[in-house]
Amino acid sequence: MLMTILLAHASEGDKEAAYAAVEQVAQQLKRVHVEEMLLPVLVQLVVIILVARLFATLARRVYQPGVVGEIVAGLVLGPSVFGALFPQVFAWLFHPGLPNVPHALADQLLTSLFGVLSQLGLIFLLFLVGLEFDFGHLRWHGKAAFFTSVAGIACPFTLGLVLAEWMYPHFSDLPKVGFSLFLATALSITALPILGRIMMELNITRTRLGTITISSAAVDDAGGWILLAAVAAIARAKFQAWQIVLMAAETVLFAGALLVLGRPVVRWFASRLAQRTDAAITVNELALLLAAVLLCAVATNLIGIFAIFGAFLFGAVCSREAIIRDTLRRRMLDFLTAFFLPLFFTYTGLRTNVGTLDSRLLWGFCGLVCLAAIAGKLGGCMLAARLGGFSWREAFCIGTMMNTRALMALVVINVGRDLGVISDSVFCMLVMMAVLTTLMTTPLLLWAMRGTELEPYILASGFLALSGKKRQA
């Protein structure tokens, strides 16, 4: 990778110098002992896990899911709070450097290492999310899920285009087409993994409303990533419509092949487990299942819609088999919750610099961005669900859950900044929008649940039980 970058920016006369520089870097890396790299990683892991659990516990005390606390933990640990208050300690902890290696290279190595670990956690989370949902409801409500997913992209995307047209004169140094399309795409994202985890904590994963929402969110996320790929291609002046169509077709073919070929194997495996008195899964069988999850992630990574969707689709294929679902939940959920998930949520927030908005105009734009995001996603999905046959209260619950954006939106926002289609101030607006739409999800859902099918499930989850208070039935 480093050699490719250096050679791409080197003229013919500089090729030998570029090769020499790469060789020098390689020699420097060879002198780094594994233990020297492991030490800062271990220290960071200790801090991230403990702080994440602390904020997750505090979040539960104010009726927010633990994932919201982990997002806040990342933002607090990041450059906007901890880095601003204690810059030297922040640099020592999260940018420590390595012996005999240039500081910039060492920092990139450690960042990449944590990025890979966090993505692995996200892949297994999406597998469990897919595993937890009852897609049988789609036989009766597939139409509602389809229209909800379409509205969940079309409405915020349209509002984003309109808002971008109004905002652009104040950001005229940016490419107009890229700015407009990216802002619209950023408003269209639904945070599938965080929404899934919120729903798991509330015990509504196998409800009718939960299934409609997660199915719509999955379609929205896949559509959002395809839109993002198109925007990136346009920003790089390499847009080819046939590549986008091919990506969508390959996704549909992969999902169909997974259903046709994977379902019989999953049923056979479930019957094998059912024959055992304790329904226990062996280490070898668990290894094969984990390998299958990773292979599906490889497939969607090669397609170009990100590895997490392959894991989600494989979980969905396995979701009908209760014995597999219960067995894997016991074996995987606790470690995933305690280690991988805080690492993903917190470290992604850790790398996000919220920054400041330094004028009333920018604060006004920030408010409009948040308003457009909420009106487009929550309002659009609510109306679509209402037209699909749900009551107004049920439709509001669906729209509220679809409005969750969180760190998946932050990932998209970082892509936009890297592409150079948004400025630092617009980046800050979108970050605030992502955090706000996540924070408002649970309070609105708890307010709207009364009289819907969600109410008994949420009460049974124990989510509302705070220390010293008994849960009310």
Contact 446/201 with Cβ under 8 angstroms? no
Res 398: pLDDT: 92
- pLDDT, residue 173, reads 82
Cα–Cα distance measured from residue 330 to residue 350, given in angstroms and rounded to the nearest whole number: 30
Give yes or no: residues 12 and 143 share one domain. no
Assess whether pLDDT exceeds 90 at residue 461.
Answer: no
Same domain for 15 and 123, yes or no, is no
Asked whether the beta carbons of 372 and 159 are under 8 A apart, the reply is yes
- Greater model confidence, 64 or 216: 216
Q: How many angstroms separate the CA atoms of 353 and 284, rounded?
A: 43
- Summarize pLDDT for 251-300 with one digit per residue, the tens: 889 989 998 998 899 999 888 888 877 767 888 888 999 999 999 999 98
- Answer yes or no: is 53 within a domain: no
448 or 473, greater pLDDT? 448
Angle between helices 308-318 and 263-274 (to 10 degrees): 50
CA distance 218 to 212: 10
The residue ranking higher by pLDDT, 4 or 316, is 316
Determine the structural domain holding residue 10 and report its residue range: 1-30
Q: Are residues 149 and 253 in the same domain?
A: yes
Among 175-184, 248-257, 370-379, which range has the highest average pLDDT?
370-379
Rounded to an integer, what distance in angstroms lies between the CA atom of residue 352 and that of residue 143?
Answer: 38
Q: Does 358 map to a domain? A: yes
As a whole number, mean pLDDT of residues 331-358 equals: 73
Domain match, 302 and 451 both: yes
CB 323 within 8 A of CB 314: no
Average pLDDT for 208-234: 78
pLDDT > 60? residue 9? no
Residue 108 binned pLDDT confidence (cut-offs 50, 70, 90): confident
How many other CB atoms sit within 10 Å of the CB of residue 145? 25
212 with 328, same domain? yes
pLDDT the model gives residue 292: 93
Residue 469: what pLDDT?
Answer: 42
In a domain, 44, yes or no: no
Instruction: Provide mean pLDDT across the span 337-351.
Output: 73
Quick one: 12 and 153 in the same domain? no
Q: Are residue 26 and residue 171 in the same domain, yes or no?
A: no
Residue 467 falls within a domain, yes or no? no
In a domain, 189, yes or no: yes
- 70 found inside a domain: no
Tell me what the mean pLDDT of segment 120-148 comes to: 74
Residue 35 belongs to a domain: no
Looking at the structure, tell me whether residues 25 and 139 fall in a common domain: no
Model's pTM, two decimal places? Answer: 0.73
**What is residue 142's predicted lDDT score, i.e. its pLDDT?**
66
Residue 393's CATH number:
1.20.1530.20
On whether residue 91 sits in a domain, the answer given is no
Higher-confidence residue of 249 and 297: namely 297
Instruction: State the total domains in the chain.
Output: 2
pLDDT at 1: 45
